[in-house]
Structure 1
Amino acid sequence: HWIECLSILSELQTGVKSLAGIVTVLLAFKLHDLQLLVHDARRCLQMNFEAVQKHCMEIYESALVWIPKNSLICKTYIADVSRVPKVILGLPDSWGPAELIMQNGSLVRSVAFSQDGSRVVSGSDDNTVRIWNVTTGEVEAELKGHTNLVTSVSFSQDSSRVVSGSMDKIVRIWNVTTGEVEAELEGHTDSVMSVSLSQDGSQVASGSYDQTVRIWNATTGEVEAELKGHTDQVRSVAFSQDSSQVVSGSDDKTVRIWNVTTGKVEAELKGHTDCVRSVAFSQEGSRVVSGSDDEMVRIWNVMTGKVEAMLKGHTNSVTSVAFSRDSSRVVSGSDDRTVRIWNVTTGKVEAELKGHSYSVRSVAFSQDCRQVVSGSDDKTSTALGTFRRIWNVMTGKMEAGLKGHTDLVMSVAFSQDGSRVVSGSIDTTVRIWNVATGEVEAELQGHTGWVTSVAFSQDGSQVVSGSRDATVRIWNVTTGDSQSIFASNITLPDGSRVNKTSPGHFRIFYPLQQPTLSMNSSTQLSDDGHWIMANLRNCCLPSEYRNFRCSSIWGSRICLGYQSGRVVILDITPTL
């Protein structure tokens, strides 16, 4: 009842922080089982913070619904868990590495931690800079003023200011407390793609599509140096720890190290075979890491200009790189949708963090090296929601998930008796799921384009699917065979169009009766997609479950399909 009371007193954030502190103490005393239980409680509360904060009783109604089956808290409170709505399909067996998922209103291009790790700043395509509370996942401030995409953001060392760069060609310095603009740095003649604050906050470095790097006085807003030398767009800039150097990466495939005082190039690092998308200094300044469209991460020796390590593993462009504070690790984000953590000494991947369903745009380590934040192009069907994920570096194991679709799920539907679900995906397959077991009963292959719509026949013996390959297929559910393929179109005299099958007939069935749902068990989604509602109970969807692409309802059960290929089925019927 402690959490319930904290909710009533509007002190829920204090509870999350307290649980995190207790975990640290229990770790020190090696009380492993108790530490896991408290850790589970904290994760559960973080995931459901919004619901429990608004309605204290949701700690019983919603929070217990989404606990992984193998978690200690689920096993400990099994009697309570059995009385809440049940996730039949799509619930992971254990907690994944993503500790917190924060939903934004647009594509996120840049993210960064504050010095103490309590906040994250993000820049996105809706021209807005947002500051997030890491404990609760809530927005603390929305900084508006840019008139185009925000491409890069960074906190000052004392976390009192945020600097942002935008495609509106302007660099802005914001006061975190007031949310006001302290300075607008104007001078670039094209989009600003990257910004960095010096350690003492007195200077700002910016890189632009105008092929220049500029050093600004953060107080006066004047340009102190304009660094010219790149022959193509500058994608990334970063100060060294002592602020004596700036590193830049460019579409000209080079990495350059500049002397801030003289404005001269001290080193030109060549080796990448495609555009350099991201660069960063190590803490002691002796190394530089770079990520490129050539799918490689390179670590360079600043003194010699030589490559110390080539980190291979990504299967698409490397969009963002960063060193950990102790310089022992590098984190990288890629268009291959993964975040990877590398051991600098061995060059090996320590963790591959999967969960994003689209390109990863930005990554950063927390100061204590225990967390990584990532920003991505993940988009929902309703609000174009984009997600930042905060990952646990220590556990870093791959998130448990369903074996199923490998890409966005476009359509889902229940069978008439509710025992099965059919799903269609961009991966060109149709899958039939057993609702009772959560297993895939059949994978129907044959389409050569996205499967955009699926449905069961009235008796459940057939499935029909429509695809962007310009065909409609009817499948036998038992055998998995495609019985009919409607491939070509004919135009009638009145201008309407129908499909023509290879045998020459196309049958359209109009059921005489449609099933009706009992008013006592009717289920629906709220307009904002945050709640599943029934007459007898409601259930709040955590933010990571809200980015569904499609949905289907059968009685008290609801099926949700996601961009990642995940399918979730929840039964909201109360257990009496």
Structure 2
Amino acid sequence: MASALYTPGAAVEQAHDDDIWHCSWIPGKHHLVTAGSDEVVKIWDAQTGDCIGTLKDNDYAITSLDINAQGTRILTSSMDNKMRIWNIDDALSRPGGDGGARKCKPALVVDSGPINAWKSRFVHQAGGGEARGSNSSAGLKEILASSTDSGTIKLWSGSDGREMRELSTSRRSFMYALAVSPDGTKAACAGVGSHIYVFDIESGALSCTFSGHSDNVRSVSFSADSTLLVTASDDKQVQLYDVRHGVAVTAFSGHHGWVLGAEIHPGGMYIASASLDTKVKVWDVGQRKCVETHGQHSSAAWSVAWQRSSDDVVAMKPMLASVGEDRSIHFYDPLLA
């Protein structure tokens, strides 16, 4: 279309040996990290489509993927009930290819216990230096958050794997989805049932609850400024909430299958979503409508991600990426966006 925001760019077919469930960008770089049911984490150069690094430590599917704000470490959760922190430099020293998926040692392995870390996220701590975490610091202090099958979020020490405390929704529901705000002050979770819970991390208090969906919630994600939350659900809707005031902003309808992932553009003007219907959609927040649909995937699209800025590099026109059940990665190049 003449007013296209994004155009399909490079594609990597058969990027993994099985379904790709997750994708996330390394801040400030053209590097995308992917993971899924084949137990391997891979790093890709979005400009060439080449695999430039791999990580593998076990033979269990990876249920969660996150990258810290500094772009130095990767956090994964796996079906063996363990969280793993990896140094990205270790992955980049292990290029793809026949020997690329050999097992290697994570920087830290946390045994969380059965279904205590289905999703896991880094908690960014403002204040700089050691508190924020630098993998070159002997006194590394990182906090990890994880979602459970019993309606709670657990907080862990990223330096020694010690469980610190728990945030409870008071409902024993499986929390499929977890997000931590970029400013490190809020955590949101959701899953079986239609409720979304937002906590103040410092106090542990439940700050607001949303119930706009009519079915299970698959994905929650904060905006770059930590003020908005976007959710994706089996009810085929994407919904947007203002977490400062605890109110619903709008709902987006148009997918013909479960919405499996959704994420807000770094500038806040668009939302991208991925669905069981194989489509990736771009929604205009101001116009409150779908402005673009992409059909590059041949089966379920599992995850979408906008390119991330870092403290040193601002992505003025961020790329978009999607991954799916068809084992492919698709990159979308910005035109007007």
Question: After TM superposition, is the score higher than 0.5?
Answer: yes
Of the candidates 345, 349, 352, which is equivalent to residue 293 of structure 2?
352
Aligned to 1:209: 149
Cα distance in structure 1, aligned partners of 2:116 and 2:9: 34
Cα distance in structure 2, aligned partners of 1:137 and 1:210: 40
1:172 aligns with 2:112: no
Shift of 1:288: 0.8
Aligned 8 A contact 1:168 1:191 in 2: no
Residue correspondence of structure 1 range 317-336 to structure 2 within 5 A: 317-336=258-277
Cα distance in structure 2, aligned partners of 1:293 and 1:156: 29
Cα distance in structure 1, aligned partners of 2:226 and 2:242: 9
Aligned to 2:10: 100
Aligned 8 A contact 2:16 2:38 in 1: no
Aligned to 2:245: 304
Aligned 8 A contact 2:263 2:304 in 1: yes
Aligned 8 A contact 2:150 2:172 in 1: no
1:178 is paired with a residue of what secondary structure? Answer: helix
Percent of matched pairs sharing the same residue: 22
Shift of 1:358: 0.5
Aligned 8 A contact 2:8 2:333 in 1: yes
Residue correspondence of structure 1 range 107-506 to structure 2 within 5 A: 107-179=19-91, 180-190=105-115, 192-199=117-124, 200-201=132-133, 202-229=142-169, 230-367=171-308, 368=315, 369-378=317-326, 386-394=327-335
Aligned 8 A contact 1:216 1:222 in 2: yes
CA-to-aligned-CA distance 1:110-167 (integer Å, 9 cap, x gap):
0001102321111121111111122222222221113311122122122111111112
**TM-score scaled by length of structure 1:** 0.49
Going from structure 1 to structure 2, the CA distance change for 1:231 and 1:394 (only over 3 Å counts) comes to farther
Residue correspondence of structure 1 range 25-44 to structure 2 within 5 A: none
Aligned AA for 1:128? V
More helix, by proportion: 1
Aligned 8 A contact 1:168 1:192 in 2: no
Cα distance in structure 2, aligned partners of 1:210 and 1:393: 41
1:274 is paired with a residue of what secondary structure? Answer: coil
**Rg (Cα) greater in structure:** 1
Cα distance in structure 2, aligned partners of 1:310 and 1:348: 9
Cα distance in structure 1, aligned partners of 2:77 and 2:43: 15
Cα distance in structure 2, aligned partners of 1:259 and 1:345: 28
Aligned 8 A contact 1:253 1:274 in 2: yes
Cα distance in structure 2, aligned partners of 1:246 and 1:366: 22
Aligned 8 A contact 1:113 1:119 in 2: yes
Unaligned runs of 5+ in 2: 1-5, 92-104, 125-131, 134-141, 309-314
2:60 is paired with a residue of what secondary structure? Answer: coil
Greater CA deviation, 150-159 or 353-362? 150-159
Cα distance in structure 1, aligned partners of 2:28 and 2:113: 32
Going from structure 1 to structure 2, the CA distance change for 1:210 and 1:167 (only over 3 Å counts) comes to farther
Aligned to 2:311: none
Cα distance in structure 2, aligned partners of 1:390 and 1:261: 37
Cα distance in structure 1, aligned partners of 2:58 and 2:203: 31
Aligned to 1:565: none
1:234 is paired with a residue of what secondary structure? Answer: coil
Aligned AA for 2:61? L
Unaligned runs of 5+ in 1: 1-95, 379-385, 397-576
User: How many corresponding residue pairs?
Assistant: 294
CA-to-aligned-CA distance 1:200-241 (integer Å, 9 cap, x gap):
352222223343311222122212222222431111111112
2:328 is paired with a residue of what secondary structure? Answer: strand
Shift of 1:333: 0.6
CA-to-aligned-CA distance 1:30-59 (integer Å, 9 cap, x gap):
xxxxxxxxxxxxxxxxxxxxxxxxxxxxxx
Aligned 8 A contact 1:333 1:362 in 2: yes
Please tell me the root mean square deviation across aligned C-alpha atoms, in Å: 1.8
Cα distance in structure 2, aligned partners of 1:154 and 1:97: 26
Going from structure 1 to structure 2, the CA distance change for 1:147 and 1:225 (only over 3 Å counts) comes to farther
Cα distance in structure 1, aligned partners of 2:270 and 2:262: 11
Shift of 1:395: 6.4
Q: Which has the higher contact order (CA 8 A, sep 6+)?
A: 2
Cα distance in structure 2, aligned partners of 1:361 and 1:181: 26
Aligned 8 A contact 1:97 1:395 in 2: no
